[in-house]
């Protein structure tokens, strides 16, 4: 399928416009990285505690942020989780140690913050049990202490209340999605005495901590190093491949173009103050391969046309090659762009960073194949000619009959 026929766009004649565009976005990204937002790293890289909280209704993110500020959690990050109309948020706390104590501290800090500054529990609930956030051991100990069935202090009573606590929390987590709509819900899974005691001395906060994860600072530093090395190794591998497949200048031009794409993509994250996570690194490595593939298609056509047009200026051959591959570029890049754009718009918060990196990367990667890599070949050839050296761009070999 061919969208365009007899295209005669002078791409190299617009190289200074392309250079200006690239400089503007590259410099803007660098300024943001060094002087504004810096490199916004996710908990995967900088270490910290990530707590997922579910609410009984759609939460007010701004209200939660103000609650965190009042509680002194100045470095926390709060963002929606799942669909835009969802009822879960992820709260990321500052760097912490990798230990069970840190898990408990992070969870306790979030529960305390939301209880005191967000949840409308009221003074009447002070000292009561929060049934939404009670764990199994906590609820079992609370029931044993209150002893609503008057069983006394014995091993059998402790075992009985442990069974009651497990039945209540199993029903909460499995049948009610982790949050009771009303304390009356416990009536069907426990004894009347336990249910009445809970109705009197327990309350529902309207939120529950669903999951707590931590990444220690040493692990985060190791992940940062591995992500950087993965990107550099991929660029080095592409350089060696193109050196072997074409000539060194082809590899250098392609790697410079991909580095240009990576710089602008990371700069876009810094400018928009979006965190870079492991999934974003995966997206960047994906766009490295995608951009390189598009560049190789253009380079291969340039090499083929050099064999048939040895007497024409290189700039003419390069322009013709770009125009001949334009339909393929628009079809493949356009369809891929529509796919990742759909992920960005409808994929939810979990895929937001990944899809944002691909949206920016595909646009810039397609642009750089035409506006960065190809003009570098011509510039290098012109530089060699000015020094009285022969051409270094070989034509493709004729196929054997």
**DSSP code at position 8:** -
Q: What is the Cα–Cα distance from 88 to 375, expressed in whole angstroms?
A: 49
400 falls within a domain? no
Bridge partner residues of 90 (DSSP): 52, 79
Q: What is the Cα–Cα distance from 68 to 74, expressed in whole angstroms?
A: 7
Q: For residues 202 and 129, is the Cβ–Cβ distance under 8 A?
A: yes
7 falls within a domain? no
pLDDT for the residue 252: 85
Q: What is the Cα–Cα distance from 130 to 111, expressed in whole angstroms?
A: 10
Q: What is the Cα–Cα distance from 304 to 324, expressed in whole angstroms?
A: 12
Do 286 and 180 share a structural domain?
no
What sign has the CA pseudo-torsion 147, 152, 158, 162?
negative
Q: What is the Cα–Cα distance from 195 to 118, expressed in whole angstroms?
A: 27
Do 264 and 148 share a structural domain?
no
371 falls within a domain? yes
6 falls within a domain? no
Do 291 and 349 share a structural domain?
yes
**Domain boundary residue among 215, 237, 253?**
215
Angle in degrees, 0-180, between the axes of helices 248-272 and 278-308, rounded to the nearest 10: 150
Query: Which residues constitute the domain of residue 200?
Result: 126-205
182 falls within a domain? yes
Other CB atoms within 10 A of residue 236 CB: 12
pLDDT for the residue 288: 84
State the pTM of this model.
Answer: 0.70
Q: What is the Cα–Cα distance from 287 to 349, expressed in whole angstroms?
A: 20
Q: What is the Cα–Cα distance from 266 to 41, expressed in whole angstroms?
A: 11
Do 336 and 265 share a structural domain?
yes
Q: For residues 292 and 254, is the Cβ–Cβ distance under 8 A?
A: yes
Do 360 and 321 share a structural domain?
yes
5 falls within a domain? no
DSSP code per residue over 198-247: HHHHEE--SEEEEEEEEE-HHHHHHHHHHHHHHHHHHHHHHHHHHHHHS-
**Domain boundary residue among 172, 194, 215?**
215
**pLDDT tens for each residue of the chain, 401 residues long:** 556 667 788 888 888 899 999 999 999 999 998 988 888 887 777 767 778 888 888 887 888 888 777 777 766 778 777 665 568 888 877 665 445 555 566 667 777 777 776 655 555 567 788 888 888 899 999 999 999 998 888 888 889 999 999 999 999 888 888 888 888 888 888 899 999 999 888 888 888 888 777 766 666 677 778 878 888 888 788 788 877 877 788 888 888 888 899 899 999 999 998 888 888 888 888 888 888 888 888 888 888 888 887 778 888 888 989 998 888 888 888 888 999 999 888 877 778 889 999 999 999 989 998 888 888 888 888 787 777 665 555 544 444 43
Do 182 and 278 share a structural domain?
no
Do 241 and 363 share a structural domain?
yes
Q: What is the Cα–Cα distance from 360 to 346, expressed in whole angstroms?
A: 17
Do 381 and 243 share a structural domain?
yes
Q: For residues 117 and 71, is the Cβ–Cβ distance under 8 A?
A: yes
Do 157 and 113 share a structural domain?
no
Do 113 and 54 share a structural domain?
yes
Q: For residues 292 and 258, is the Cβ–Cβ distance under 8 A?
A: yes
Q: What is the Cα–Cα distance from 356 to 1, expressed in whole angstroms?
A: 29
Do 366 and 238 share a structural domain?
yes
User: Which CATH number is 252's domain given?
Assistant: 1.20.1640.10
**Domain boundary residue among 196, 215, 234?**
215
245 falls within a domain? yes
Q: For residues 393 and 247, is the Cβ–Cβ distance under 8 A?
A: yes
Q: What is the Cα–Cα distance from 141 to 133, expressed in whole angstroms?
A: 14
Cα separation values, 305 from 63, 221, 229, Å = 62, 48, 37
Q: Name 324's Cβ contacts closer than 8 Å, sequence gap at least 6.
A: 7, 301, 305
Other CB atoms within 10 A of residue 288 CB: 24
Q: What is the Cα–Cα distance from 217 to 197, expressed in whole angstroms?
A: 44
Give how many domains the chain has, as a whole number.
3
Do 256 and 300 share a structural domain?
yes
pLDDT for the residue 167: 92
135 falls within a domain? yes
User: Which CATH number is 68's domain given?
Assistant: 3.30.70.3220
């Amino acid at each position: 399928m061919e969208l365009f026929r007899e295209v005669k766009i002078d791409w190299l004649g617009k190289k200074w416009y392309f250079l200006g565009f690239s400089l503007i976005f590259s410099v803007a990204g660098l300024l943001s990285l060094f002087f504004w937002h810096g490199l916004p790293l996710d908990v995967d890289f900088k270490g910290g505690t990530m707590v997922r909280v579910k609410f009984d209704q759609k939460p007010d993110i701004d209200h939660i942020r103000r609650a965190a500020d009042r509680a002194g959690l100045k470095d926390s990050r709060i963002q929606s989780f799942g669909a835009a109309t969802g009822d879960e948020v992820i709260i990321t706390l500052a760097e912490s140690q990798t230990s069970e104590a840190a898990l408990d501290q992070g969870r306790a800090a979030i529960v305390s913050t939301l209880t005191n500054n967000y949840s409308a529990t009221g003074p009447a609930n002070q000292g009561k049990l929060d049934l939404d956030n009670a764990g199994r051991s906590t609820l079992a100990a609370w029931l044993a202490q209150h002893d609503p069935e008057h069983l006394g202090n014995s091993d059998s009573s402790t075992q009985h209340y442990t069974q009651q606590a497990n039945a209540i929390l199993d029903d909460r987590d499995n049948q009610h999605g982790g949050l009771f709509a009303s304390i009356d819900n416990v009536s069907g899974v426990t004894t009347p005495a336990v249910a009445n005691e809970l109705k009197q001395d327990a309350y529902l906060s309207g939120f529950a901590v669903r999951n707590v994860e931590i990444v220690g600072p040493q692990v985060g530093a190791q992940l940062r190093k591995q992500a950087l090395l993965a990107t550099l190794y991929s660029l080095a591998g592409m350089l060696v491949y193109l050196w072997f497949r074409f000539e060194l200048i082809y590899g250098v031009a392609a790697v410079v173009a991909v580095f240009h794409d990576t710089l602008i993509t990371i700069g876009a994250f810094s400018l928009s103050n979006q965190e870079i996570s492991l999934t974003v690194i995966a997206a960047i490595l994906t766009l490295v391969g995608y951009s390189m593939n598009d560049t190789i298609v253009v380079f291969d056509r340039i090499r083929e046309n050099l064999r048939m047009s040895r007497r024409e200026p290189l700039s003419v051959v390069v322009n013709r090659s770009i125009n001949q591959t334009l339909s393929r570029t628009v079809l493949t890049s356009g369809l891929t762009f529509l796919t990742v754009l759909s992920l960005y718009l409808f994929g939810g918060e979990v895929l937001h960073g990944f899809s944002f990196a691909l949206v920016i990367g595909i646009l810039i990667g397609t642009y750089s194949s035409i506006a960065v890599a190809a003009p570098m070949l011509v510039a290098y050839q012109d530089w060699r000619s000015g020094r009285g050296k022969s051409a270094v761009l070989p034509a493709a070999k004729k196929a054997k009959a």
